[in-house]
Amino acid sequence: DSGVTQTPKHLITATGQRVTLRCSPRSGDLSVYWYQQSLDQGLQFLIQYYNGEERAKGNILERFSAQQFPDLHSELNLSSLELGDSALYFCASSLRTGGPEKLFFGSGTQLSVL
């Protein structure tokens, strides 16, 4: 158990809908990262927050947004969903803002857009 909790584990929705994925980092970790893993793709970095502030942005679509709350949990909001958004979404946490340190990953949320 990595100590990173993601909910829900599975999410099935329709095109055009909006969903929210939730992540609770390891106790004491201030930094939260979101990654997307599509079929046959690596882990694509979406966005990072550190202690409530956005620190880095990757290949995140404008239809997607995220935030980190005062209790350090984070939410990833996906709107106007398309079939291509179906993927495994991982949250990871670390103590600081970046290397050299390792990330601890949650077990992911499998999103299926039908």
Partner 1 sequence: DQQVKQNSPSLSVQEGRISILNCDYTNSMFDYFLWYKKYPAEGPTFLISISSIKDKNEDGRFTVFLNKSAKHLSLHIVPSQPGDSAVYFCAASANTGNQFYFGTGTSLTVIP
**Residues ≥6 apart with Cβ < 8 Å to 45:** 33, 34, 35, 56, 58, 59
Q: Which of residues 5-64 bind partner 1 (CB under 8 A)?
A: 6, 33, 35, 40-45, 48, 50, 55-56, 58
What tokens were used for 93?
């946490």
> Does residue number 70 form part of the binding site for partner 1 (CB under 8 A)?
no
Q: How far is the CB of 65 from partner 1 (least distance, A)?
A: 18
**How far apart, in whole angstroms, are the C-alpha atoms of residue 25 and residue 93?**
5
Q: How far is the CB of 73 from partner 1 (least distance, A)?
A: 17
Q: Which of residues 73-102 bind partner 1 (CB under 8 A)?
A: 90, 92, 97-100, 102
Q: Determine if residue 109 is left, alpha or beta; phi over 0 gives left, psi from -120 to 50 gives alpha, anything else beta.
A: beta
Name the residue nearer to partner 1 (CB basis): 22 or 79. Answer: 22
